[in-house]
Structure 1
Amino acid sequence: MLMRNRKIWLGRVAVMRLLGIGVIIGLHWLCLFGAVKIANVSIALAGLATLSLFTAFTEPLLTRRRIQRFEVMLGILVLAGICLIAGAETGHLLGLFMALLSALLAAIFMVLNKGIVIKGGDPMVMVGWEMLAATAVCLAAVPIVDSGCFGALVFSEPIEWLWIILL
């Protein structure tokens, strides 16, 4: 119903670009949830807080805009705080690394999406193509991250599928 009067096929190049961004989103999800599993939610969210730092560097690289000192300084302060939070526990450091990688991937897809929206892309259609690719990436990763080979997709309650679909 939301897509009824929208042009879904945008041409091969545009769709491939959106699917590529979707792959980045899927990798972002895997890294973020991997960080939660390896460390904990606090470490994962602390690492994700570096998103502004990564955006401060990726946006100028991808759009040829000047680096803003203020953004970099804020990001460095966040990074210093994160180092204090993570401590020296090995699991926390690996989880923090995964969260930092997740933040970098999030910064990249946000900058790429911004460029497409500025050019007049329909956000609903963009999200549709991107979520298709992100879902495919996550499903392809299940046998790798789940030794039970798709055991992670077996839910004890049918309502859990509803929550996954809403997510």
Structure 2
Amino acid sequence: MKKALIQLHIAVFLAGFTAILGKLIHLNEGLLVWYRLLITVVTLFVIMYYKKQLVKISPTDALKFLGVGAIVAIHWITFYGSINYANASLALVCFSATGFFTSLLEPLILRKRIVVIEVLLGLLTIAGIYIIFDFHPQYKLGIALGIIAALGSALFPIFNKEFTKRFAPQTITLYEMGGGLIAATLLVPLYNLEFPAAYYWPTASDWVCLLVLGWFCTVLSFNLQLNALKKISAFTANLTYNLEPVYGIIMAFIFFKENKSLHYQFYIGVGLILLAVILQMYRVYHQTKNYKTPAL
């Protein structure tokens, strides 16, 4: 359990850095996601081919991977769109709605009972988002896209919980990113009709950021998260990912000085979100200490 939580927190830190890279890459969000997926799929395929780790899967599993990959692609496009139409800090804060969505969707999809404390902790993060939204109405579109991204983020680990029982993390990541690449290839041209791109081929600096995004913030981060999901619940994983805004916001303050454009209500909202994360981590620790079993 301890190792799983450490792996998860490293993955969360890497995920928080994606917002900074998204701000530094000047491609529009649709093309950014397409290149990120392409780099990830090619990298994983080459590594797994030479290590003889490629695994054949059934058509049924292939369709499932394609569906989850499509969710990932839409999640990323709306996330980077949120950065574009608001800023990195607010886009990351909207991620905190993930815990609330998970507390409702995980019992529904996996046919488990609803845990009241999880719903309450999720609502605490929603309260934090509401306080931030109420004082930043000029970012309405960006926040709306961020909420959609949070919904996609909630679904991803729920569906992956089943896959982690049957497939290695590298296999799951390869096939899901492949599904995401197919979905993005179909969706991005339509997206660009509505939101035209200024240019289509990455610059040299774009390529550097895209490679870091693909290799470290996707391949490494996804493997760490999937390994952690073998020991912890999807809700715990998603609520822990609420630390992503904390890490990302700190980096946004350092790199882009975004704190100069934020009011004190922003910090109240972030404080509520952080409180929800701390309470859940205490809950997981308490259960593990008393029962010596993985937290539910």
Shorter-normalised TM-score: what interval?
0.7 to 0.9
Distance 1:139 1:88, change over 3 A: farther
In the alignment, what sits opposite 2:291? none
Q: How does 1:71-90 map to 2 (within 5 A)?
A: 71-87=118-134, 89-90=136-137
Distance 1:7 1:155, change over 3 A: closer
In the alignment, what sits opposite 2:140? 93
Distance 2:196 2:142 in 1: 20
In the alignment, what sits opposite 2:112? 65
Structure number having the greater helix percentage: 2
Residues 9, 15 of structure 1: 8 Å contact kept = no
Deviation at 1:93, TM superposition (A): 2.1
- Could you state the TM-score of these two structures normalised by the residue count of structure 2? 0.51
Distance 2:187 2:81 in 1: 11
Residues 35, 96 of structure 1: 8 Å contact kept = yes
Distance 2:80 2:173 in 1: 20
Residues 50, 103 of structure 1: 8 Å contact kept = yes
SS, match of residue 155 in structure 1: coil
Match of residue 137, structure 1, among 183, 187, 195 = 183
Distance 2:58 2:212 in 1: 28
Distance 1:7 1:41, change over 3 A: same
Distance 2:106 2:161 in 1: 10
Q: How many residues align?
A: 163
Return the letter of the residue paired with 1:122.
A
Distance 1:40 1:141 in 2: 24
- Could you state the TM-score of these two structures normalised by the residue count of structure 1? 0.86
Match of residue 52, structure 1, among 86, 99, 122 = 99
Distance 1:28 1:162, change over 3 A: same
Alignment pair present for 1:164 and 2:217? no
Return the letter of the residue paired with 1:55.
T
SS, match of residue 136 in structure 1: helix
Alignment pair present for 1:16 and 2:16? no
Distance 1:28 1:91 in 2: 22
What are the superposed Cα offsets for residues 32-76 of structure 1, whole Å, 9 maximum, x if unpaired? Answer: 111111111121111101111111111101100111111111111
Which consecutive residues of structure 1, in runs of 5 or more, have no partner in the other structure? none
In the alignment, what sits opposite 2:76? 29
Please report the RMSD computed on the Cα atoms of aligned residues, expressed in angstroms. 2.0
